[in-house]
Chain A
């Protein structure tokens, strides 16, 4: 791409011809270069580095892969006590209950899609610890931009079961007014920006929001979630680079679950995961065991402080996990991965995030099989109630289709709405009008 106008180019030439550094350069050509010049190292503006006389390429193997930070072992035992976050019992129990509530809601809503009650669903199976650990570690007013598999983050902040269900049904209680597919949640009150389907678009947006927060000096940061597949999009590159050059207080939280639909991560990249890219952009980076809720909590907590230090800057967290469920209700993942592999990750001995947290709490004396059984029944009941209630709520008047395209309804759009109204007067019996009613 040819860039910049001629103005620029000619200005540059003029400046360069006149600049003292050019004169210096010309002088050094005319006299033999002195050793002291050599000692100064290369003067190229594009990098601060040294000279070398070895013809050597740097390979990815030359750099040690980022290790995976963990706090607990696969059986919920804390490895180094000084790494255990000092969380009170209520917080720990809330963490576990949210993880398990999410698991239950996923199971029930997944089934409800299979039964044709909702059109689509995506579970978070296996990634519950990444949601809860990170959500618990940031300020509740920090702005969140997600991808779509961060339901637990919203649940942690208080999005209620009826709110989840109403969005999936697109009924008139859905604050999104039934306009998007299921699981595209959003909440202004809970500072969770509405999800959209195009992958990675939220990343540069989150950077822009972080810049606005920095200028507003509100002491808050922005956290944005994305999968390792989305990290291949151009927008991910844009976001990482912008966040570093513009020093934005943002946490990039990558859920590396091994698959992007059917594509295994080895077909997604050849470097050291997503974390390996952080330092290349000048971003402090950590890789964490995404099935260890305490490790995720610690990493996110520290990342938040780091992002707000020295006026602000980005931090990258890569949480290693495994996508236990199918990609979505439109996907059968056994078509591309062995069921053996899934079984392994489901087993407690591989460190399943819920089993691990369960054991951690049991060791601490905060949880028992009895409590587990009661909570399972109770949570299931709550979800089914929300589902049955949500199903009965009608959808908004079809005229809502025309609102919020613009702040005000343009005249031509108003006319399109009126023509549809006329049409329905004549052909209304062919449309599901009875399901679409204005809130009374």
Chain B
């Protein structure tokens, strides 16, 4: 309960227990001080993207609203599209599906029983039978009961049937990543488990503009996609999101900041940490960092990372997931193979430790800007 209470306060929003609602708990309730606590515990500062002027009309949306907007467009433009999962009908526990059932009807936006393997399998079946399936796993931490369906079934459907059948119209959305106090089962970043599976596409957006375009790409892509949404950004991240229906390429990384001394690669929330690290490195140590958002874990954009490393000669990969077997290992190995003659220091990974994701120790667990900054110094001075 305490966990939930805190997460409520951080993620909190229109339903936040502040102002008049606080009376429920009495004005002197310790609840009132939580906002301060939350600011203190946040390990990143969101760095918004700027929409291109050519993208037309924009609207200020946070991450959950941009995801809602993408699903709204998907449902509007594709009459076969359905959205389902645990508690999606009333709007979702993170508000991503707000208003969609009212708009599109209960046969298109609906609750399922509480069973992740069922959700995954049901979604595969819908896609196999010609419908567009948008499945929600309430937390990425609970995707594992659906692991068999996603790994053995979804990923291999086209291959094993020689192309007779496929479930390319399936997209699985799942809130992922650190949230300040989610502990073991509301914080995980399971992308590396899925990255070992040919046949799947895995995408992690860093903000609302990317989220909308990438989610629409995933929904319309001809392969099954897993879309991990960094839940700490649901309300924290606001951008001017183009109103139009647009898609962004899967498998293409973004160079967000150009630099000459070292390349920093991350995805999801960690991109914002790295952008701040680059700023700190410039200010404090006069180090010029190139920051890349990998965007897509599978397939991943080796070319963009290689080009950057060939220029800077140094690479740091940072992710929240544990170090061993994390996707940083794959990136590191493949870049080492391609860029051996250009590397002036060992490729370094700054990641979560090889422990379960802890509750009270979260500030010491995550790859903070300070751990990243220290790594930047070490690698540059190698």
Q: Interface 1/0s, chain B 90-126, versus A by CB < 8 A?
A: 0001110000000000011010111101101111111
Q: Which residue of the partner chain, among A208, A246, A410, contacts B121 with CB atoms under 8 Å?
A: A208
In the complex, which residues of chain B have a beta carbon less than 8 angstroms from the beta carbon of A77? none
Q: Interface 1/0s, chain A 195-218, versus B by CB < 8 A?
A: 010100101111111111101100
A114 within 8 A of B: no
Instruction: Tell me, in angstroms, the Cα distance from A235 to B107 when the chains sit together.
Output: 23
In the complex, which residues of chain B have a beta carbon less than 8 angstroms from the beta carbon of A201? 121, 148-149, 152-153
A8 within 8 A of B: yes
User: When A188-B164, A208-B126 are in contact, do A410 and B149 touch as well, CB less than 8 Å?
Assistant: no
In the complex, which residues of chain B have a beta carbon less than 8 angstroms from the beta carbon of A216? 80, 129-131
B138 within 8 A of A: yes
Q: Is the pair A184, B125 in contact by a Cβ cutoff of 8 Å?
A: no
User: When A180-B160, A201-B148 are in contact, do A4 and B115 touch as well, CB less than 8 Å?
Assistant: no
Most buried by A among B17, B112, B161, B198: B161
Chain B minimum-CB-distance residue to A215: B107
Q: Which residue of the partner chain, among A5, A404, A408, contacts B4 with CB atoms under 8 Å?
A: A5
A86 within 8 A of B: no
B3 within 8 A of A: yes
* A: interface residue count bin: 35 or more
Instruction: Tell me, in angstroms, the Cα distance from A404 to B157 when the chains sit together.
Output: 9
Q: Which residue of the partner chain, among B4, B12, B117, B166, contacts A238 with CB atoms under 8 Å?
A: B117
Instruction: Tell me, in angstroms, the Cα distance from A406 to B201 when the chains sit together.
Output: 9
Q: Is the pair B128, A205 in contact by a Cβ cutoff of 8 Å?
A: yes
A333 within 8 A of B: no
Instruction: Tell me, in angstroms, the Cα distance from A411 to B168 when the chains sit together.
Output: 19
Instruction: Tell me, in angstroms, the Cα distance from A35 to B12 when the chains sit together.
Output: 45
A320 within 8 A of B: no
How far does the Cβ of B149 sit from chain A's closest Cβ, in whole Å? Answer: 6
User: When A179-B159, A234-B117, A235-B117 are in contact, do A206 and B152 touch as well, CB less than 8 Å?
Assistant: no
Q: Is the pair A208, B299 in contact by a Cβ cutoff of 8 Å?
A: no
B5 within 8 A of A: yes
In the complex, which residues of chain B have a beta carbon less than 8 angstroms from the beta carbon of A180? 160
Q: Is the pair A235, B125 in contact by a Cβ cutoff of 8 Å?
A: no
User: When A186-B161, A205-B124, A212-B125 are in contact, do A2 and B186 touch as well, CB less than 8 Å?
Assistant: yes
In the complex, which residues of chain A have a beta carbon less than 8 angstroms from the beta carbon of B17? 10
A141 within 8 A of B: no
B290 within 8 A of A: no
Number of B interface residues, CB 8 Å?
A: 75
Q: Is the pair B93, A5 in contact by a Cβ cutoff of 8 Å?
A: yes
How far does the Cβ of B24 sit from chain A's closest Cβ, in whole Å? Answer: 8
How far does the Cβ of B140 sit from chain A's closest Cβ, in whole Å? Answer: 13
In the complex, which residues of chain A have a beta carbon less than 8 angstroms from the beta carbon of B1? 9
Q: Is the pair A3, B199 in contact by a Cβ cutoff of 8 Å?
A: no
Q: Interface 1/0s, chain B 51-81, versus A by CB < 8 A?
A: 0000000000000000000000000000010
Instruction: Tell me, in angstroms, the Cα distance from A404 to B162 when the chains sit together.
Output: 7
Name the interface residues of B227-282: CB closer than 8 Å to any CB of A: 251
Q: Is the pair B11, A207 in contact by a Cβ cutoff of 8 Å?
A: no
Q: Is the pair A5, B94 in contact by a Cβ cutoff of 8 Å?
A: yes
In the complex, which residues of chain B have a beta carbon less than 8 angstroms from the beta carbon of A177? 162-163
In the complex, which residues of chain B have a beta carbon less than 8 angstroms from the beta carbon of A410? 251, 299
In the complex, which residues of chain A have a beta carbon less than 8 angstroms from the beta carbon of B145? 234
How far does the Cβ of B358 sit from chain A's closest Cβ, in whole Å? Answer: 15
User: When A6-B8, A10-B17, A404-B159 are in contact, do A207 and B125 touch as well, CB less than 8 Å?
Assistant: yes
Q: Is the pair A7, B93 in contact by a Cβ cutoff of 8 Å?
A: yes
Q: Interface 1/0s, chain A 1-30, versus B by CB < 8 A?
A: 111111111110010010000000000000
Q: Is the pair B126, A212 in contact by a Cβ cutoff of 8 Å?
A: yes
Instruction: Tell me, in angstroms, the Cα distance from A408 to B201 when the chains sit together.
Output: 12
Chain A minimum-CB-distance residue to B201: A406
Most buried by B among A203, A242, A408: A242
User: When A3-B86, A174-B162, A209-B128 are in contact, do A196 and B15 touch as well, CB less than 8 Å?
Assistant: no
Q: Is the pair B8, A5 in contact by a Cβ cutoff of 8 Å?
A: yes
Most buried by B among A5, A11, A184, A408: A5
Q: Is the pair B162, A175 in contact by a Cβ cutoff of 8 Å?
A: yes
Instruction: Tell me, in angstroms, the Cα distance from A66 to B168 when the chains sit together.
Output: 41
Instruction: Tell me, in angstroms, the Cα distance from A93 to B146 when the chains sit together.
Output: 45
How far does the Cβ of A87 sit from chain B's closest Cβ, in whole Å? Answer: 30
Q: Is the pair B8, A212 in contact by a Cβ cutoff of 8 Å?
A: no
In the complex, which residues of chain A have a beta carbon less than 8 angstroms from the beta carbon of B302? 412
Instruction: Tell me, in angstroms, the Cα distance from A1 to B188 when the chains sit together.
Output: 14
A239 within 8 A of B: yes
Chain A minimum-CB-distance residue to B168: A407
User: When A176-B160, A186-B165 are in contact, do A11 and B126 touch as well, CB less than 8 Å?
Assistant: no
B82 within 8 A of A: yes
In the complex, which residues of chain A have a beta carbon less than 8 angstroms from the beta carbon of B3? 2, 6
Q: Interface 1/0s, chain B 189-215, versus A by CB < 8 A?
A: 000000000110100000000000000
In the complex, which residues of chain B have a beta carbon less than 8 angstroms from the beta carbon of A239? 118, 121
Q: Is the pair B15, A193 in contact by a Cβ cutoff of 8 Å?
A: no
Residues on A lying within 8 angstroms of B by beta carbon are: 1-11, 14, 17, 143, 145, 174-177, 179-180, 184, 186-188, 193-194, 196, 198, 201, 203-213, 215-216, 222, 234-235, 237-239, 241-242, 245-246, 403-408, 410-413
Apart from A179-B162, A209-B126, A212-B131, what 9 extra A-B contacts exist at CB < 8 Å? A2-B3, A8-B93, A205-B121, A211-B82, A211-B122, A215-B82, A216-B80, A234-B115, A235-B121
17 sampled A-B residue pairs with Cβ under 8 A: A9-B1, A175-B164, A177-B163, A179-B162, A194-B161, A204-B117, A205-B149, A212-B125, A235-B148, A235-B149, A241-B113, A242-B112, A242-B115, A403-B163, A404-B159, A406-B201, A406-B222
Counting from the closest, the 5 A-B pairs by CB-CB distance are A208-B125, A204-B121, A6-B8, A238-B118, A6-B4
